[in-house]
């Protein structure tokens, strides 16, 4: 039976796309759970115990909608960042905020600039609104911001997408260098600075510019360092005029009430965040050690994952990802050459890294 829904010509022309196949779907396909979930860059060390208590306590209030203004969380974030309430919008993860931003700024034929192989969900939103994507290669396994800005000037791009630190390579650019590069930003172009891994990065990654700078919007999340990926809480920091514009398109009742309360408690527990950062640092070293023992080279990481160079091409890396999945280890890899010579392994608890250490030699042996 056909549907009565009449898709727009744009939607009808788009391929059915899933930017990431979830580990749950992969487990259903293989008919068994993974022994180690090390592919989605989740924080296996968990959220603040205070956040868990707060969310549990919020259960009795779940009959209420979440505060559409996310006032309490935004107020705490404004204090945290020494800015005004009007400089912050809260949304359902960075993914949701990217969708809102693209809806606000990109129409059919409008150009955005990004890096080939960078976070694909941004491109997914751009395609959904008919935008044209200009993708530049990585340089030395890092996104090349000066080149992105130069290309944006050539094509009159509405947006530049740049993640710092970068996913999937784990590299980062010092904030002072970003500020210097922005001096060449063309009028009418906005830098979308995805800082999902910002809390995990070295201190010099911080952007030394005021939140009100009209050339940039910064995106942060509670999914990574704060360990709340399932709660879907992200926020954007930017000029008040741009942040107000989100009210034109955002889902005002799209935030889960318990998630809002949990994120506020997590933000207020910076001691737990420090504990997680110590755990992540130790896990990065352990993943590098395991990789090295098996002939794989760890790239420097400013995130909660480590990218391992497999020493071959994309076919070899894809085969290794598949072989590890057969061994019960879920990992992912970059999508675009030459970065697709690598696999990417999330930091996780000791037991999961021990499972990785046991499985990796067997998986490599399958490749010959």
pLDDT tens-digit map of 271-318: 999 999 999 999 999 999 999 999 999 999 999 999 999 999 999 999
Checking 76-85 for CB contacts under 8 A at 24+ apart, the result is: 76/264, 76/267, 76/268, 77/235, 77/267, 80/267, 81/211, 81/237, 83/210, 83/211, 83/212, 83/237, 84/240
For the domain made up of 50-268, the CATH class stated in words is: alpha beta
User: What pLDDT, on the 0 to 100 scale, is given for residue 20?
Assistant: 86
Question: Which whole number is the average pLDDT over 78-101?
Answer: 98
Q: Give the count of beta carbons closer than 10 Å to the beta carbon of residue 107.
A: 11
Helices and strands in the chain: count of H runs, count of E runs = 13, 12
Record the pTM. Answer: 0.96
Q: Which fold has domain 20-46+271-367?
A: 3.90.1150
User: What pLDDT, on the 0 to 100 scale, is given for residue 49?
Assistant: 98
Common-topology check for domains 20-46+271-367 and 50-268: no
Q: Could you tell me the pLDDT band of residue 18, with boundaries at 50, 70 and 90?
A: confident
Domain extent listing, the chain: 20-46+271-367, 50-268
């Amino acid at each position: 039976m056909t549907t009565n829904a009449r898709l727009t010509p744009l939607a009808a022309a788009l391929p059915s796309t899933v930017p990431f196949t979830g580990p749950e779907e992969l487990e259903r396909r293989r008919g068994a759970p993974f022994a180690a979930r090390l592919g989605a860059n989740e924080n296996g060390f968990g959220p603040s115990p205070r956040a868990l208590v707060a969310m549990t306590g919020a259960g009795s209030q779940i009959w209420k909608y979440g505060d559409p203004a996310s006032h309490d969380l935004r107020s705490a974030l404004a204090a945290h960042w020494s800015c005004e309430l009007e400089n912050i919008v809260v949304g359902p993860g960075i993914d949701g905020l990217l969708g809102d931003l693209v809806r606000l700024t990109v129409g059919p034929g409008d150009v955005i600039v990004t890096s080939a192989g960078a976070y694909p969900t941004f491109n997914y939103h751009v395609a959904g609104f008919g935008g044209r994507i200009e993708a530049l290669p990585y340089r030395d396994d890092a996104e090349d911001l000066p080149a992105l800005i130069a290309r944006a000037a050539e094509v009159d791009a509405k947006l530049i997408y740049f993640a710092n630190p970068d996913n999937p390579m784990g590299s980062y650019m010092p904030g002072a260098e970003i500020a210097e590069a922005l001096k060449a930003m063309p009028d009418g172009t906005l830098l979308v600075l995805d800082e999902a891994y910002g809390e995990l990065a070295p201190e010099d990654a911080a952007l030394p510019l005021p939140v009100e700078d009209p050339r940039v919007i910064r995106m942060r999340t509670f999914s990574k360092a704060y360990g709340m990926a399932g709660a879907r809480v992200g926020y954007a920091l930017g000029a008040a005029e741009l942040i107000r514009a989100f009210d034109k398109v955002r889902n005002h009742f799209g935030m889960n009430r318990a998630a809002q309360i949990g994120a506020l408690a997590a933000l207020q527990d910076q001691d737990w965040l420090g504990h997680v950062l110590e755990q992540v640092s130790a896990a990065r070293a352990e993943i590098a050690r395991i990789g090295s023992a098996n002939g794989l080279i760890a790239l420097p990481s400013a995130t909660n994952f480590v990218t391992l160079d497999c020493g071959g091409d994309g076919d070899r890396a894809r085969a290794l990802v598949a072989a590890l999945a057969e061994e019960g280890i879920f990992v992912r890899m970059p999508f675009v050459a030459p970065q697709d010579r690598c696999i990417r392994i999330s930091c996780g608890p000791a037991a999961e890294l021990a499972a990785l250490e046991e499985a990796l030699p067997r998986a490599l042996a399958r490749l010959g």
